[in-house]
Every structure is written in C-alpha cells, then in structure tokens.
Amino acid sequence: MKRVLFVEGTDEAALRSFAAGLNHPWRLLARPEQGLYLLEVTEPGEETGRAAAKLAGFRSWTFDVLDERAGG
C-alpha cells in the first residue's frame, strides 16, 4: 500500500533543508497568506517518518493512500 507523509510548519527553509536530504519524491506547498508550508513526501519509509516527527516546531502525519486518480 502506498503511503504519504505530510509535514506542516511555518519555517520554509527548514522544510526545504529536510526535503533536500530525502531519497523520496516530495512537493512543498505554501499558503503565503498564513505563512504556512506543507511538505508532502511519497513513500517516505519509517525512518523518514521518525525524523519528521523529531523536527522542532513542525507537525507530521503519515497516511495510507486508499484510492487515487490521475488528473485529466
């Protein structure tokens, strides 16, 4: 089953730094009006999830993908 990790916080540079060290596909999303950033990591693995949980000032969640559809 496919998994996705989300890491949320207000420090864009810290999220970019964390993402730069990953060997997994990722996207960085932003809500500029709120100063909020969300890192989405596909197939993160347990180590990545644990490392994200240790990031100070960030919240993280890992989800199982139950269904998905390609754009079109």
In this prediction, residue 1 carries a pLDDT of 80
Cβ-in-10-Å burial (0-12, 13-18, 19+) of 7 comes to buried
In this prediction, residue 48 carries a pLDDT of 96
In this prediction, residue 44 carries a pLDDT of 95
9 CB-near residues (< 8 Å, 6+ apart): 15, 36, 37, 55, 57, 58, 59
Listed as ranges, residues in the chain with pLDDT below 70 are 72
Domain spans, the chain: 3-61
Rg of the chain over CA atoms, in angstroms? 12
In this prediction, residue 70 carries a pLDDT of 80
- Global pTM reads 0.91
Class (C level, CATH) for 3-61? alpha beta
